[in-house]
A and B are shown apart, each in its own frame.
Chain A
C-alpha cells in the first residue's frame, strides 16, 4: 500500500470502529438498561411487568417477615408516601436493616388480587453505612435526624 492510502485506510478504519462501538452500545442499551423506580412510581404503573428494574426506598420498620421455608424474606419498601411489597429468596446482604435504605434489583411480578409484588434477584449492599438511595434525599435527611418512618 502507498503511504498516503495507508494513512487514509487507518483513519477511516478508526472512525468506523468508533461508530460501530457507539451503534452497538446504543442498540444494547435500548434493550438492556434497567430503570430505577420509587414505590410511588411503581404504584402509578410506571414500571413494566416482568422487565428488569430496580426499586429503591427504605425498609419499612416492622415489615420484615421471613417465610416458612426459611429462605424467602418479604418486606415493604417505602418512600414515605407509598410502599411496595418486595420478596427475596436468599441471604440478605450485610447492610440490610429495618429503616435503612435499600435497592432491590429484580422485576415486577404480574399483579394478583391487585397486589403488586416486586420479586428481587439481588438486594444491593453498599459498602458504606451512610449509604442512602440518593433519590430519597429528603427521607434520608429525616432518617439521619433519627425520625422513624411509621405510616
Chain B
C-alpha cells in the first residue's frame, strides 16, 4: 500500500501542476486575478511530492523487496542509514528527489514571495509548474520508482560497498538543492519576461534563491572534491571528470548570475543580461543532470542502447531551454534599458567578472561535451582532461581572481574613488610573493607561481572594503562578500602550494624499514589482517615522525566478498601546515608491501577556502533575510497588499 500511496500522490501532484499551468495561461490572457488559488495549488503540489518521496524512503527503510527499485538497489543486510540513502542513490529515486525539491521550492515561492508584481509571481509559478510537469511525466511514463515485482524476491541486489559512503549518500542531495534553487531563478526570469516586469524588485525576489543555490553548489563541489581526494587514493582533489564538471558548470553560471543580479537590484541595470544568465544557469543544471543521469558518459552507445531515459531528459532540456531562449529573443529587446554607467565603475567591473566567468564556462562546457560530439559524429573516442582544462581555463581563472580584488573598490555608476592608491599593500604583497617564490623555488611551474602571487594580492585586497569604514557597522552582505573573496585567496594558496610543494614517494617496504617523504620519515611497523562486517583487510601500521614526536597511521586495503571488490582505504593525518597521505597496496611473498606516501603542504586550504566562500554566501543571505524581516515589520500592511 505504501508504494501505491506514493504513486497516487505523484499522479495527483502532476495533475495539480497541469492545473497550475492552466491558471497561469488564464491569468496572462485576461485580467482574472488567480494569485490566491495559484498559491494554494503550488503549496498542495509541494506537499504531495513530499508525501510521494516520504513513501519511497519508507519502502527503502523497510526493505520492501516487492518494490523493484528496492530489490535492485538495496539489501536487508545494509546499515540502516544506507538503506534510506539508497532511495536516492539510483536513477528513479534521484529523479523523484529532483521533482520533490522542485515542487517544494515552488511552494516556498508561493508562500513567501511578495516582492514582485502579482502577475510576475503567477507567471513564475506557472513556469515552475511546467518544469515540474516534465519531470512528473518522466517519472510516471519512463521511470516509475514504485513499480512492483511479483513474486517478491527474498532479498535485494544492492550491496556495492563502494556506494556505502557518507560522501556519496549526502553529496547528490546538496547538489540537487543547488540545481533546483536555480530553477526558481529561471522561473522568475521567464515570468518577468512574459510580463515585462524586469526590475529591481524582481532581482530582490530572485536573489535569495540564487544565493542559496550558489551556497549549496559551493558546498557540494567542495565536499565532492574532498571525497574524491580521500576515497580514490590518488592524492588529487579535482580530476576534471565530466561528473565533476557537471557540478562546476552550474556553479560558474550561478556565480555570474549572483554578481549581475546585484547590479539589477542596486541600479536597475543589466536587465536582459541578468535574465539571460538566469536561463543559462538553470540550463547548466539541466545539462549537469542530463550528463549524470542519462548514462551518456559511460558511452554514447550505452545511451543509444537504453535511449528512454537519456532521450527524455534531452528532450526536456531542449524544450525548456529552447522555449526560454525564444522567449528571450522575443522579449529581451523590448525591455527598457537600465540605468547608464561609465566605463570605469562597479557595474563595468561586474560585467567583466561576468564575461570572464562566461568564457571559463564556455571552455569547460566545450571540453566536457567535445568527446561526446566527436564520438557521436565521427565515431572516434577521445578524452579531455586536466592538461586541457588547466592550460586553457587556468590563466583566465587567475585573471578573474586578480580582478576580484579590484572590483569591489569601485563605486556605482562612475568611479569616484582613487583605487590604485588603495591597492599599494596588496600589490606589495604580490611582489613579495614573486620574490619569495623565485628565491625559494626557482623552478616552480608558471601557474603555481602566478597562483601564489595572485593569492597574496587577493588576501589583502579582498579585505579592503572593510578597511575604510567601521567594520562593525558594515552590512552583513558586505562581510559576506569580503569573506567569500578572501576564501578564494585561501583556496588559491592551497592549490598553488599543492601543485608546487607536494612530495610523493612510491616504494615497497618490509616491516621495520623507513621511507622518507618531504620532511617526514615513515616507518612500516607491520601489516596485520583485520575483518569488518562484510570485509577482510590488511591493515598497515605506519609510524611517521619529523624531528620530535611521532604519529601513527593505519591505511588498509580491503577485500569485500559480495560482490568481490577491493578498495584501498587511505589514511590521512592533518597538521597545521599540510597533510600526510598514505596508501597501502599489495604485499608480495617475501613480506614487502607497496606503499604510496604524499606530503601535501597546506592542501587543506583548498577546502577551507571553499568552506569560507560558502560561509560568506551564508552571511550575505542572512543579512538579506534579516533586512527583509525588518522591512516587513515596518510595513504592517504587507499582507493586505497581495492578499
Contacts and interface: CB of A to CB of B under 8 A. Distances in A.
Interface of A: 1-4, 6-7, 10, 13-14, 17-18, 20-22, 24-29, 32-36, 52, 54, 66, 69-71, 89-97, 105, 122, 125, 127-129, 131, 134-135, 137
Contacts of B392: 24-25, 27-28, 32
A82 B370 CA distance: 29
A58 B560 CA distance: 22
B383 A94 contact: no
Does more than half of chain A's interface fall in helix, strand or loop, or is it mixed?
mixed
Interface residues of B, number: 56
B281 to A, nearest CB: 15
B270 A25 contact: no
Given A32-B387, A34-B382, A7 B337 contact: yes
B358 A71 contact: no
Interface string B473-516: 00000000000000000000000000000000011100000000
B506 A89 contact: yes
A10 B298 contact: no
B337 A6 contact: yes
B198 to A, nearest CB: 14
Contacts of A92: 585-586
A29 to B, nearest CB: 6
B635 interface: no
User: Main secondary structure on chain B at its contact with chain A?
Assistant: mixed
Given A10-B351, A54-B383, A91-B583, A29 B367 contact: yes
Interface of B: 160, 162-163, 232-234, 270, 273, 298-299, 301-302, 337-338, 340-343, 351, 355, 358-363, 366-367, 370-371, 380-385, 387-388, 391-392, 506-508, 563-568, 583, 585-586, 588, 592, 594, 596
Contacts of B337: 3-4, 6-7
Contacts of B508: 69-71
B507 A71 contact: yes
Contact of A33 (B362, B382, B567): B382
Contacts of A7: 337
B380 A137 contact: no
A107 to B, nearest CB: 12
A14 B380 contact: no
Contacts of A97: 564
Contact of B358 (A18, A105, A122): A18
Contacts of B273: 10, 14
Contacts of A33: 370-371, 382-384, 388
B385 A34 contact: yes
B351 A127 contact: no
